[in-house]
Structure 1
């Protein structure tokens, strides 16, 4: 991981949040890693990025963590959304128990395999478990069936397949992986 600092974003860092997201969407694995395209993200107005950044920096609804190198460059990011019981998830299904939902995972190619992804996930999961009432029962994420590298990392970190599969509009399939509170860390 080197000398990176993993930390939550600040509300005034919307330009850096936008730049890192666009870099992520330009990555060669973006088509199987993200449900969004770079063209769509580039079209969002500044106010969209300002609101997304504020939402990922403050309150209980979400938190975005970044890995900042010694030169100030952001080399990775992970976001946890809080899905409260009774809400509807990103795929239109009712949420039965409070849970975290990991989204927008990205680590620059030159930083993959260095421990940076593990550090980002550790910070994100620690934040999720530390939330006060109602406590989150689990943290989950979805991974495209064509993204074996990501699925391997998630399993190594301790996530297990729930068996839930969501079919996307383009016919691709996303598999749900879950990390339950108190589950043994297999790292």
Structure 2
């Protein structure tokens, strides 16, 4: 398998963490989708990463689709429960974490990709409002549990950890660690896992 992606994307990191936890071999191909000469559309017509290219040349995209598929390939470190209700709850956590990332990415792009005179403060605030609301709900739902789903490490934790790591990278001024100490404890615990250590997002030199 070949994973096309970037080292900063929280969605790509989520898939990389899953691959590591499942102990699956793959080739990681770096791709900058914002570059004029990007070739991502040859594999994903939506022009997004991550994109997983299979041995037969077919491609799979959207991190949620890829992560769910990868979890079926080996029984090592099952990240999605078999129980339908628990499985749905994990997917809700993942959707919430990805939604917070979606909103933060939109705000970041507005601030960094558009000329200052064309930026919309109202648009940025709308997106950041989603980020704050999402973090609050995650904190409320986590409570004092060791993991998002209680005592079991799941894809929910992977998604939340990757999103929080991206916020630290791109929005260091957001004081989510102080405002939500339980999320900070979860993030610190996840950061000790080898899969997270090996995929820490860094801005390329």
TM-score, structure 2 normalization: 0.29
Name the structure with the higher strand share. Answer: 1
TM-score, structure 1 normalization: 0.31
Structure with bigger gyration radius: 2
